[in-house]
Amino acid sequence: MIKDIRSYKLCYEGISDERDALAIKGLAEHPMEIVVTEIETSDGYLGYGESLAYGCSDAVQATLEKILKPLLLGEDEELIGHLWEKMYKATLRFGRRGIVIAGISGVDIALWDLMGKKTKKPIYKLLGGSKKRVKAYITGGYYSDKKDIDKLREEEAYYVKNGFKGIKVKIGAKSMEEDLERLKAIREVVGEDVRIAVDANNVYSYEEALEMGRKLEALNIWFFEEPIQTDYLDLSAKLALELRIPIAGYETAFTRWEFYEIMRKGAVDIVQTDAMWTGGISEMMKIGNLAKVMGYPLIPHYSAGGISLIANLHVASALGLEWIEMHLRKNDLRDKIFNKKIPIEDGHLVVPDSPGLGFTIRDEVFEKYTCK
């Protein structure tokens, strides 16, 4: 039985001045900010989940405390699917995406962590998975006043030196010509055997994305992520038809219903989603299986704390996925939230075999990183 639910707003202040295109075009770069959900059962188990909270942690926490918690207290924590539907239906008038689904995501991940701990099995095995390692590509190449072309080349060479065979670079904040020069410089230093993807963070118009996509094709770019706003699915489908380069996205969509429309319309060639904001592990599994049915590859998105990264990794194992996204930007909410490091072997994330998520939270985390 669920005895209590607690939530914690965590912020990391050590983020550098690195920015993506969305930040430079007038919208603030999100802080490294998450909401962690802690669920306690009557028999003494604790489960942990993570919610998307890019500058909106107050609202996410309020949703957890005032709306979701009263729905869940006294319920059987093992009825994960039932509890997901209860939360989703109860928030009909104001949910469906955004902050409410972020709150549900954190609860769902925590419930799966609990289930694993109670059964003494890692989540990926509960989900039917067997894959022990998943290839990681590293997202970097952010814009910074301190990062010239030489610094950019050094950064990307570092990723490759550490065994990663895929990298992703931010585009869209500079002119197309400048971004293409950045990509050419990176290709020179990483070689032809490393996959290079790009991420425009939704800033292009359709016409700009079409023009840039054609230029990217000449550079043998792996995929073109979120070229336009997620709302314009028909235009994204036109891009996918017009361009040879695969269109990837849209991590900024929520739940299986939005992703069904994305796939039905052919708006992408590669599906990207994230357990911390699409509805948790339960919903990410549904989206992943839907992608399998409809013939789309899925690559999990990642951009926040360690809990969501590991949740995505369990799903990647369960679905037998080839790739997962990873960052190496300085981030204590990824690197210092657990009592042990997230293992990386030869460019692969190692799927944990301990119960639940497979990691325990450091005792001092909630005090040390509480948002001011």
- C-alpha to C-alpha distance for 281 and 302, rounded to whole angstroms: 14
Question: Which helix H or strand E contains 195, and what residues bound it?
Answer: strand 195-199
pLDDT surpassing 80 at residue 363: yes
Q: How confident is the model at residue 15 (pLDDT cuts 50, 70, 90)?
A: low
- 125-350: CATH number: 3.20.20.120
Q: How confident is the model at residue 55 (pLDDT cuts 50, 70, 90)?
A: confident
Task: Give burial (CB, 10 Å; 0-12/13-18/19+) of 76.
Answer: exposed
Could you tell me whether strands 2-12 and 348-350 are parallel, antiparallel, or unpaired per DSSP bridges?
unpaired
- C-alpha to C-alpha distance for 195 and 220, rounded to whole angstroms: 9
Q: How confident is the model at residue 63 (pLDDT cuts 50, 70, 90)?
A: very high
Please spell the DSSP secondary structure of 234-285, one letter per residue: HHHHHHHHH-SSPEEE-TT--HHHHHHHHHHTT--SEE---HHHHTHHHHHH
Radius of gyration of the chain from its Cα atoms, rounded to whole angstroms:
20
- Burial pattern 285-307, b for ≥16 Cβ within 10 A else e, equals bbbbebbeeeebbbbbbbbbbbb
pLDDT at 234: 98
Answer yes or no: CATH 3.30.390.10 is held by domain 2-120+364-368.
yes
Identity (one letter) of the amino acid at 139? T
- Burial pattern 134-163, b for ≥16 Cβ within 10 A else e, equals bbbbbbbbbbeeebeeeebbebbbebbeee
Sorted by sequence, the CB contacts under 8 Å of residue 49 that are 6+ apart come out as: 36, 37, 39, 105, 106, 107, 108, 109, 110, 111, 113, 280, 307, 311
pLDDT at 259: 98
pLDDT tens, position by position, 272-298: 999 999 999 999 999 999 999 999 999
Q: How confident is the model at residue 145 (pLDDT cuts 50, 70, 90)?
A: confident
Q: How confident is the model at residue 54 (pLDDT cuts 50, 70, 90)?
A: confident
Tell me the two tokens of residue 5.
């639910």
Tell me the two tokens of residue 133.
């390692």
* Cβ atoms within 10 Å of 177's Cβ, excluding its own: 9
* Cβ atoms within 10 Å of 121's Cβ, excluding its own: 16
pLDDT at 146: 86
> What is this structure's pTM?
0.97
Identity (one letter) of the amino acid at 320? G
* Of 28-42, 84-98, 294-308, 348-362, the least confident: 28-42
- C-alpha to C-alpha distance for 151 and 147, rounded to whole angstroms: 5
pLDDT surpassing 60 at residue 26: no
Question: If DSSP codes are grouped into helix, strand and coil, which group holds residue 152?
Answer: helix
pLDDT tens, position by position, 112-136: 999 999 999 999 999 999 999 999 9
pLDDT tens, position by position, 193-236: 999 999 999 999 999 999 999 999 999 999 999 999 999 999 99
Tell me the two tokens of residue 330.
């300085």
Nearest Cα residue to 98 out of 222, 215, 297, 258: 258
pLDDT tens, position by position, 205-214: 999 999 999 9
- C-alpha to C-alpha distance for 207 and 176, rounded to whole angstroms: 13
User: Where in the chain are the domains?
Assistant: 2-120+364-368, 125-350
Tell me the two tokens of residue 243.
């361009």
pLDDT surpassing 70 at residue 31: no
Is the distance from CB of 272 to CB of 227 less than 8 angstroms?
A: no
Same fold, 2-120+364-368 and 125-350: no
